Amino acid sequence: MDENMHITLRCLFCSQPLKAEEGAEFQSSDMIECSECGESNDYDSVFEVAKESALEEVKSQLQDDVKKKFGKHFKKK
């Protein structure tokens, strides 16, 4: 499983990656404007969706790893 994972923060409305100026910092309750659709996104919600996405990715990778490692032990002879 990859130890480093890169998750892109996406616009809640159009799902396009959110872009910001280099060095820009955001905190709870900030609104981030999407450069694609122009909608303002609640930062906390964007983060929650990204977190959920990351957990799903980790779960999927773990399942693949388990299948690879233990699959051979349960193959029919």
Partner 1 sequence: MQKETDFDEFDLLDVFYAEMLEKGEPHHLVRMSVDSEMAGRIAEERGIWVEEEQLQELAGRCLANKWLSHTTMGGGKYSDLQLTTQGYGVAKSKREQKKIAEEKGRLKKISEYIEEHRGLFIFLGTLVAIVGLLIKIYGGGQNG
| Site residues for partner 1 per CB under 8 A | 12-13, 31, 39-42, 44-46, 48-49, 52
Of the candidates 50, 16, 20, the residue with the CA atom closest to the CA atom of residue 36: 16
In angstroms, the CA 77 to CA 66 distance is 20
3-class DSSP state of 41 = strand
- The nearest distance, CB 57 to partner 1, in angstroms, is 15
- The nearest distance, CB 53 to partner 1, in angstroms, is 9
Q: Which helix (H) or strand (E) holds 70?
A: helix 43-71
- The nearest distance, CB 22 to partner 1, in angstroms, is 24
Which CB sits closer to partner 1, 52 or 65?
A: 52
